[in-house]
Amino acid sequence: MIKSWKTKLIHSDAKIPEGYRSLATPTYRGSTTLFPSAAAVEDTWDQKRVGYTYGLYGTPTVMELAARICELESGTHTILTPGGQAAISLINLALLQSGDHMLLPASAYYPNRKLATRLLSRFGITTDFYDPCIGGGISSLIQENTRLIWCESPGSITMEVQDVPAIATAAHERKVRVVLDNTWSAGVLFDAFAHGVDITMQALTKYIGGHSDLLLGSVTVRDDSLHQRLGAAQQIIGCAVSPDDCSLALRGLKTLAVRLSAIETSALEIAKWLATRPEVERVLHPALESCPGHEFWKRDFLGSAGVFSIVFKPGPTQQQVFAFVDALQLFEIGYSWAGVTSLAVAYNLGHLPGRPAYDHRIVRLNIGLESTEELIADLEKALHQLPA
């Protein structure tokens, strides 16, 4: 066919050498996905079964990241979402319906709680919040219509490590499914399925990305029927993920082991140093005995990550705690965590039901890859902001 230059812009016959191989996964962007014939066109989300159909369900870059997370978490299917919170929403919207009840730990990531109380409640889904340290005692909270029990271990900010196997046993006796927010463990320091979890999700935004420059989430299951429900819901909700972000996350995976190991060592040294300080009442680091559920961390986890909290002794005002955070020079102030930069955020738990009475005395730290000695020196200087 003879083509004008305008047509050539769209349908080119230019040739390049074939056979290129790289260590990096190519970034395939695409909404339209080409079918070989008119009869082959179908709008099926399950691309693992039918082949590529539409960008919403993932390009090869997206599918590769999903497959890699699935392999690491020992699942059979992983669906990616545009962020960790989107993964939480997808799970709830796919698996709950009007009249259902769910149990959430009081220590859950706050937007997970807000989803339950402000959105799912409008659709007739009820939620009760439970003490994250409840273990097998969760049986007494399970109702006839309970469909999901969420775990988050360790919990956000207050860091309680949960007895996930005990919760899973109690849940399964009543045919209730267990979902775990496995973000802190990066999906590798805690084997969710081996501990009885049915659905594990992560904010890949954190350790998998690892550089504070992307937002992604994952939902991993071992059960085909769960996969079908999640995939069908993702199609309807339309939560597509960016292949560029997946490409960054694939790169992040390559250094995850060394980042986690360096961060673990540094965070532990800093946590132990903080535990010796007179201003500090308690260090909430799962690998220290002072953290609720430490015994479950010891029993169930393969290591520790770099996020933990400190609780100051009663005395400092909210302003003095803010002054402590503001005085830090190496720790930046900001949400999200698990990047290479250390972060500090002060919280006030005073208004939250079911949380320990730490009020405004709690500060969460994310340890990055700076020199441990310099981070300790930075903390030591900032502690002067607090009353002795």
| Stretch binding ligand PLP (CB under 6 A), from 51-59, 81-89, 222-230, 250-258 | 81-89
Strand partners, 79: 219
Binding test (CB under 6 A) with ligand PLP, winner from 217, 303, 306, 339:
217
162 binds ligand PLP (CB under 6 A): no
Q: Which amino acid does the sequence have at 149?
A: I
In the complex, minimum distance from the CB of residue 111 to ligand PLP, in angstroms, rounded to a whole number: 7
Is the Cα dihedral 325, 328, 333, 337 positive or negative?
negative
- Tell me, letter by letter, the H, E, C secondary structure of the chain: CCCCHHHHHHCCCCCCCCCCCCCCCCCCCCCCCCCCCHHHCCCCCCHHHHCCCCHHHCCHHHHHHHHHHHHHCCCCEEEEECCHHHHHHHHHHHHCCCCCEEEEECCCCHHHHHHHHHHHHHHCCEEEEECCCCHHHHHHHCCCCEEEEEEECCCCCCCCCCCHHHHHHHHHHCCCEEEEECCCCCCCCECCHHHCCCEEEEECCCCCCCCCCCCCEEEEECCHHHHHHHHHHHHHHCCCCCHHHHHHHHHHHHHHHHHHHHHHHHHHHHHHHHHCCCCEEEEECCCCCCCCCHHHHHHHECCCCCEEEEEECCCCCHHHHHHHHHHCCCCECCCCCCCCCCEEEEECCCCCCCCCCCCCCEEEEECCCCCHHHHHHHHHHHHHHCCC
Q: Which is nearer to ligand PLP, 47 or 156 (CB)?
A: 156
In the complex, minimum distance from the CB of residue 180 to ligand PLP, in angstroms, rounded to a whole number: 10
Binding test (CB under 6 A) with ligand PLP, winner from 83, 286, 293, 306:
83
In the complex, minimum distance from the CB of residue 186 to ligand PLP, in angstroms, rounded to a whole number: 11
In the complex, minimum distance from the CB of residue 183 to ligand PLP, in angstroms, rounded to a whole number: 4
User: What is the Cα–Cα distance from 64 to 39, expressed in whole angstroms?
Assistant: 27
In the complex, minimum distance from the CB of residue 181 to ligand PLP, in angstroms, rounded to a whole number: 5
| Stretch binding ligand PLP (CB under 6 A), from 31-39, 79-87, 90-98, 291-299 | 79-87
Q: Which is nearer to ligand PLP, 183 or 234 (CB)?
A: 183
Q: Which is nearer to ligand PLP, 53 or 183 (CB)?
A: 183
Binding test (CB under 6 A) with ligand PLP, winner from 28, 57, 109, 297:
109
Strand partners, 77: 221
In the complex, minimum distance from the CB of residue 354 to ligand PLP, in angstroms, rounded to a whole number: 17
Residue nearest to ligand PLP (CB): 84
Q: Which is nearer to ligand PLP, 85 or 304 (CB)?
A: 85
85 binds ligand PLP (CB under 6 A): yes
Residues 173 to 192: which contact ligand PLP by CB under 6 A?
A: 181, 183
Q: Which is nearer to ligand PLP, 8 or 118 (CB)?
A: 118
Q: Which is nearer to ligand PLP, 54 or 301 (CB)?
A: 301
160 binds ligand PLP (CB under 6 A): no
In the complex, minimum distance from the CB of residue 47 to ligand PLP, in angstroms, rounded to a whole number: 23
Where does residue 359 fall: left (phi above 0), alpha (psi -120 to 50 degrees), or beta otherwise? left
Nearest to 128, CA basis, from 99, 162, 102: 102
Binding test (CB under 6 A) with ligand PLP, winner from 126, 336, 341, 372:
336
205 binds ligand PLP (CB under 6 A): yes
Q: Which is nearer to ligand PLP, 53 or 107 (CB)?
A: 107
User: What is the Cα–Cα distance from 64 to 70, expressed in whole angstroms?
Assistant: 10
In the complex, minimum distance from the CB of residue 191 to ligand PLP, in angstroms, rounded to a whole number: 18
Backbone angles phi, psi at 311, to 5 degrees: -115, 125
Q: How many C-beta atoms surround the C-beta of residue 240 within 10 A?
A: 18
Q: Which is nearer to ligand PLP, 156 or 385 (CB)?
A: 156
84 binds ligand PLP (CB under 6 A): yes
Q: Which is nearer to ligand PLP, 215 or 349 (CB)?
A: 215
Residues 235 to 274: which contact ligand PLP by CB under 6 A?
A: none
Q: Which is nearer to ligand PLP, 177 or 364 (CB)?
A: 364
Binding site for ligand PLP (CB under 6 A): 83-85, 109, 152, 156, 181, 183, 203, 205, 215, 217, 336
